Structure 1
Amino acid sequence: MIIEVIGVATVLAGLWVLWQGPVAAFWVLSLSALLGAAAAFKLPALGDASVPPVIVVALFLVISVALRPRLREAAIESLAPSGPGFWLLLFTTYAVASAYFMPRLFQGLTHAYSLARNDIDVGIVSLVLMPRASNTTQAAYLIADLGCFMCVRALMIRGQAKAITNALIVCAVLLLVSAVVDVVAYHTDTAFLLSWLRNANYRMLDAGEIGGFKRIVGTFTEAGAFSYVALGFYAFCLSLWLDGFRTRITATLALLLALCLLLSTSTTAYGSFAIFSSLILAGALVKLANGQATRRDCGYLVIFSMIPFLLGTAIMFAPSIWSAMMGLFDATVSSKLESQSGIERMRWNYFAMKNFWDTAGFGAGVGSVRASSFAVALLANTGVLGLLLFVVMLASSFTPGRLLSFDDAVARAGFRACLALIGAACLSAASVDLGFVFFIFFALAASARQLRKREAPQFAASNPAIGARHYQLQGASS
């Protein structure tokens, strides 16, 4: 094992959070999740695999929660049957088991695109299906994701929604700062100053440019990875603004993150942003038709209705800007599938689906197959059963109805962020692991039902008319 300087700092931070407590551990975990191109350790025994700082911090978070009885009890309760945590546990158990058994069961039966490391470079190449180091590393990531989910949900249930939200808002700010620093460093030829944050054994695409626009990568390996995380924070902030909580800061962050996504030059960003915006727009229109729309819902509709007018103004008064935008659109969207990258990614998906059929729908095992879509990767690696478990897991976290409190709004924001991230992952994710950012938001979403059971009596007491109706329904159901 090779210990990096960032690894030493990460371990020291982990020891500090053991002393400070789980809330401090969550802060450090959230911040370390932004270091997508960093490595705390490197493991030569596993193909020189890089261990990101967030994995190390997650271990200290789990220890910190386990040392406190109330939080430990809440973390264990998060896996109760029929809840989102239960389905996540089943999905993780099956996925980890598939990582061990499937490559051995179907060894030599098919060829799969998988991650290969050598002395020169890191890349995805076609290899005969067999057990590999990526099976172990991907399984380890899923186990760490489960531990992260349990701890964050325990903090939510124990009344730390405000602290969690504060940490995530700070992370959104730092994500924007990293984007600005990345662009400035590129144009001033000082990108080498960020090399200590890009020490992982990954392929770094931090110097790309499309249509005269610098591809924004921030502290990640490439523009797609940056935009994936930025989209999650955008959805989280936008949801809080729409629900009327911390409107000034969340509105500002949502606007800046949206601008950052549009300037990122990431095809994934554009596609997933359009899909998520369509969902929010449809929800606002339904609320308007039902007479339930708030001023913020109406504001969101007005902003979208102004887009054609703004585009027309750009064409009339700033044709050069319009030409640059159209060039960027052509390079990242309309001509994407014809590019070498687009052709290569479609090839990955084609052979991933071939692996799915070659293994009779069971999948080749987590870590065996790389694709260019989360849905395809899920089928190719875990088969039909893995896909069904994941769908049920996500559906079980959906909790419609009236908001009861700030905690409830945070949970809803977490669910919306999950939807945005899944949309982005289905467009370009290479593996089954959706990352720590997704599971942080999923833990928030999964806490909604228990929070509502606890808060419903208080809400009914403060709203007599609703309270009377609530108890009438309870009496009718009994």
Structure 2
Amino acid sequence: MQISFIGLLVCVGILLVGYYCRGPLIVGLLASLAFGATSLMTLSWLGGSSPLIYTFFVALVVTAIGARRRVWRDLGNVFGKIRTLWILSCLMIYTAVGAWLFPRLFAGQTSVFVQSGTRRGIVEASLAPVSGNITQTGYLVLGGLTATALCVLLLHEDRMVGIRRGFLLWCSLHAGMGVIDLIAKLAGAGDILWPIRTASYAMLTDVREGGFWRITGANSEASSFGGSSLVCLAFCYVYWRKTKSQLARGLSALLLILLILSTSSTAYVGLAILVIPVALSILRSFLSGRIDRDEILIIALIAIAAVIGLTIIVYDEGYFAPLVHLMDSMVFNKAASASGQERAYWNIKSLQALIDTSGLGVGLGSSRASSWPIAVASQLGVVGGVMIAMLLLVVFKGMGHLGQYVDPETNAVVSSARASALASVVAGSFSSGSADPGMVFFIALAVISATRARARSERYTARRALPLGRPAFKTR
């Protein structure tokens, strides 16, 4: 095991900032997500795996809960009030058992794509136990433990300020390092953020596409940066629309620009999908006659951008040729490229592995896909897929009608966290090779579940307080 001095230094810095924000654990955990290529150590006994620094903050959060004197009473309380945690616990147990059992039970009966142990890259091989069974299962279990610990913290105490500050700090750090990376490359300085890239990943940070520099920020490649930008943009946009926060509005604009300049096909396709509910929301406001200034501003900016673009085309037809070439290569012709065909073949083989294992799956970490839903199906099988779908439904529902029993600020934070989790699912659906939904998903699941439990308690109290014989709600 080799400790990374840079990773340790970054962790200390995040802890200090979190302490200043009066939430070293929650704020620190969320802020650490901005460092997508910074590891704390390298585990040589585990195939050179290098856990990212957010695992350090996960350990702190879980340890803080485990060290409580009333830890068992607190756990019993949250499991009694939040039924989602039972599903999550079953998923963690099933995943751990399946990751050990299925690669051995179906060894040699199907072929999968795995990381090569002798050279960088993905190779096709017969199903067998690999180090990914341990590492990826560990990440999913850490996510489940984080969600459980956060439920304990959030159920009886109002810590939404820490959640809000953590998300906004994460978005600010991500955007800031994206700007630094882009400016440095345009100035000819190259990858000046390389000192913080201590993870043992393949670093694709000094790459051009169609004449444009690919922005990587603090991540290992442009695709990861684009996916994270999509998640951060979803949080900031929803929080801005619900609270009119100037900081969130500024971050939304900056993240949108970085996302467009990222040259990431994942970001472009994900943005096109997330624009649909935004457009429907604006259309609904327009038809109902309740359109507000922010929506008018969005429409005006789109119209101005369209007019400027058309004017430039009139004077110089070839001005946008490099951009058109970029969009052709990264989006429209992506599936026809060698990389696109290779990833499509990964997905085909993953679905074939699901059939070969009679729907049980090959075990988490046993294979590599290029889409999160396909990875869930092939690695976790039908049973694990159903449990993941149930958790996804909880996130998709959000607060629902229970939103009226919490204050507007809490509702805004929960809605924003929900949007970021759904954005991470959208991004993962086009690029993720693992069935693990990611730390953002588990954090949002905890925020939503704990807040719903508190809202149900408030609803029960409100109904008890009503005069005898008076209905809790108006009936038609």
Alpha-carbon shift at residue 187 of structure 1 (Å): 3.5
Contact 2:420 2:440 in 1 (8 A): no
Structure 2 CA distance for partners of 1:322 and 1:292, relative to 1, 3 Å = same
Counterpart position of 1:418: 421
State the match for 1:464 in structure 2: none
**Letter aligned with residue 209 of structure 2:** I
Once residues 38 and 280 of structure 2 are traced to their aligned partners in structure 1, the CA distance between those partners, rounded to angstroms, is 39
SS at match of 2:364: coil
Kindly provide the amino acid, as one letter, of the partner of residue 450 in structure 2.
S
- CA displacement, residues 354-405 of structure 1 (integer Å, 9 cap, x when unaligned): 1111111111000011111001101110011122111111212313245542
TM-score normalised according to structure 2 size = 0.88
Q: Distance in 2 between matches of 1:105 and 1:4?
A: 38
The residue number in structure 2 matching 1:274 is: 272
Aligned to 1:377: 375
Aligned equivalent of 1:24? 24
The amino acid across from 2:138 in the alignment is: A
- More deviation, 251-260/84-93: 84-93
Aligned-pair Cα RMSD in Å: 3.2
Is the Cα–Cα contact under 8 Å of residues 407 and 451 in structure 1 kept in the other structure? no
Query: 1:73/1:264 Cα in 2 relative to 1: closer, same or farther (>3 Å)?
Result: farther
Paired with 2:253 and 2:78, the residues of 1 have a C-alpha distance of 34
> Are 2:50 and 1:50 equivalent residues in the alignment?
yes
Gaps of 5+ in 2: none
Partners of 1:309 and 1:471 in 2: how far apart? 58
- Mapping of residues 346-357 of structure 1, within 5 Å: 346-357=344-355
Cα distance between partner residues in 2 of 1:134 and 1:22: 37
Work out which of the residue numbers 437, 440, 457 in structure 2 matches 1:437: 440
Amino acid aligned to 1:160: R
Q: 2:255 aligned with 1:257, yes or no?
A: yes
SS in 2 for 1:36: coil
Structure 2 counterparts to residues 183-332 of structure 1, below 5 A: 183-191=182-190, 193-243=192-242, 245-289=243-287, 294-297=292-295, 299-300=297-298, 303=301, 308-316=306-314, 319-332=317-330
Give 1:241's aligned amino acid.
Answer: W
Bigger Cα displacement from structure 2, 300-309 vs 440-449:
300-309
Please tell me whether the aligned partners of residues 13 and 28 of structure 1 are also in contact (alpha carbons under 8 angstroms). no
Tell me whether 64-73 or 208-217 shows the greater mean CA deviation: 64-73
Identical-residue share of aligned pairs (%)? 26
Contact 1:87 1:393 in 2 (8 A): yes
Work out whether residues 111 and 127 of structure 1, in 8 Å CA contact, stay in contact via their aligned partners in 2.
yes
What is the identity, as a one-letter code, of the residue corresponding to 2:240?
W
Change (3 A) 1:156 1:310: farther
User: In 2 relative to 1, CA 226–18 (structure 1 residues): closer, same or farther, beyond 3 Å?
Assistant: closer
Give the Cα–Cα distance (whole angstroms) in 2 for the partners of residues 67 and 317 of structure 1. 68
Contact 1:122 1:201 in 2 (8 A): no
Whole-angstrom CA distance in 1 between matches of 2:131 and 2:22: 32
Looking at structure 1, the residues matched to 65 and 311 of structure 2 have their Cα atoms a distance apart, in angstroms, of: 55
Is the Cα contact below 8 Å between 1:348 and 1:372 reproduced in 2?
A: yes
Q: Determine helix, strand or coil for the equivalent of 1:125.
A: strand
Per mean C-alpha deviation after superposition, the further-off stretch among 102-111 and 91-100 is 91-100
SS of the residue 1:90 aligns to: helix
Amino acid at match of 1:396: V
Local SS of the residue matching 1:89: helix
Change (3 A) 1:333 1:475: closer
2-side partners of 1:21 and 1:261: how far apart? 28
Q: CA deviation at 1:311?
A: 3.9
User: 5+ residue gaps in structure 1?
Assistant: 462-466
Q: 1:391 aligns with which of 389, 394, 413?
A: 389
The count of residues paired between Structure 1 and Structure 2 equals 468
Deviates more, 1:364-373 or 1:156-165: 156-165
- With 395-404 and 380-389 compared, the bigger mean Cα shift is at 395-404
Q: Secondary structure at the match of 1:219?
A: coil
Mapped to 2, the partners of 1:346 and 1:286 lie a distance apart of 37
Query: 5 Å matches for 1:61-80?
Result: 61-68=61-68, 77-80=77-80
> Which consecutive aligned stretches of 4+ in structure 1 deviate over 6 angstroms post-superposition?
13-22, 457-461
**Does the C-alpha gap of structure 1 residues 96 and 241 become closer, same or farther in structure 2, counting only changes over 3 Å?**
same
Contact 2:82–2:450 (Cα < 8 Å) also in 1: no
Change (3 A) 1:74 1:23: farther
2:265, 2:75 → 1: CA distance?
38
The structure-2 alpha-carbon separation of the partners of 1:242 and 1:143, relative to structure 1 and needing over 3 Å to count, comes to: same
String of CA shifts for 1:80-128, please: whole Å, max 9, x gaps: 476333322222222222111111111111110012233xx43211111
Name the SS for the 2:344 alignment partner.
helix
Distance 2:307 2:90 in 1: 50
Cα 1:234/1:71, change in 2 over 3 Å = farther
The alpha carbon displacement at 1:188 in A equals: 3.9
